[in-house]
Amino acid sequence: MKELRIGIIGTGAISNLHVQVWQKMPGVTVVAGCDIDQAKLAAWGEKYGVRNLYTDYRQLLARDDIEAVDVCVHNNLHTPMAVAVMRAGKHCYSEKPMAGSYLDAKTLYQAAGTYGVKLAVQCSSIFNNQTRIAKRLIGAGKLGKVYHVRSVGHRRIGRPGVDFPLSTDFFSKEIGGHGPMFDIGTYHVSQMLYLLGLPKLESVYGVAHHEFYTDERLLKGKAYEVEDLAVGLARFENGLSMDMYEDWALNIDEVGTSFLAGGLGGLKLTNIDVYGGRIPNPELYKQRHPELEFFGFEDGLMVDKKINCALNESAEQLLDPNIIWFDNNQHQWAAYLRGDLTDETRINTPLICLHTMLVLDGIFLSHKLGRSVTAEEIEALSESPAVRRQVTPWGEFTYDF
Domain boundaries, the chain: 4-124+387-398, 128-324
Is residue 185 over pLDDT 90? yes
Number of C-beta neighbours around residue 168 at 10 A: 18
Mean pLDDT along residues 137-164:
97
C-beta separation of 275 from 284 below 8 A = yes
Cα separation, 216 vs 218, whole angstroms? 5
Is residue 85 over pLDDT 80? yes
Is residue 322 over pLDDT 80? yes
Using a 10 angstrom Cβ sphere, with 0-12 exposed, 13-18 middle and 19 or more buried, the burial of residue 223 is: exposed
Is residue 153 over pLDDT 80? yes
Residues 330-360: b if buried by 16+ CB within 10 A, e if exposed: bbbbbbbbeeebeeeebbebbebbbbbbbbb
Mean pLDDT along residues 170-187:
97
For 241, phi and psi rounded to 5 degrees?
A: -125, 155
Question: What is the tens place of the pLDDT at every residue in 28-52?
Answer: 999 999 999 999 999 999 999 999 9
pLDDT score at 163: 96
E runs forming strands in 218-278: 229-236, 241-247, 258-262, 265-270
pLDDT score at 2: 79
Question: What is the tens place of the pLDDT at every residue in 57-80?
Answer: 999 999 999 999 999 999 999 999
Confidence of residue 264 (pLDDT cuts 50, 70, 90): very high
pTM for the model stands at: 0.97
* DSSP β-bridge partners for residue 236: 201
CATH fold for the domain made of 4-124+387-398? Rossmann fold (3.40.50)
Q: Which residues contact 312 (CB under 8 A, 6 or more apart)?
A: 129, 133
For 177, phi and psi rounded to 5 degrees?
A: 85, -60
For 379, phi and psi rounded to 5 degrees?
A: -60, -40
Is residue 1 over pLDDT 90? no
Cα separation, 303 vs 344, whole angstroms? 36
Closest residue by Cα to residue 311 from 290, 284, 330, 329? 290
Domain 128-324 has CATH 1.20.120.530: no
Rg for the chain (alpha carbons), in Å?
A: 21
Amino acid at 183: D
Question: What is the tens place of the pLDDT at every residue in 362-375?
Answer: 999 999 999 999 99
Percentage of the chain modeled with pLDDT above 70: 100
Question: What is the tens place of the pLDDT at every residue in 202-234?
Answer: 999 999 999 999 999 999 999 999 999 999 999
Percentage of the chain modeled with pLDDT above 90: 97
The mean of the pLDDT values for the chain is: 97
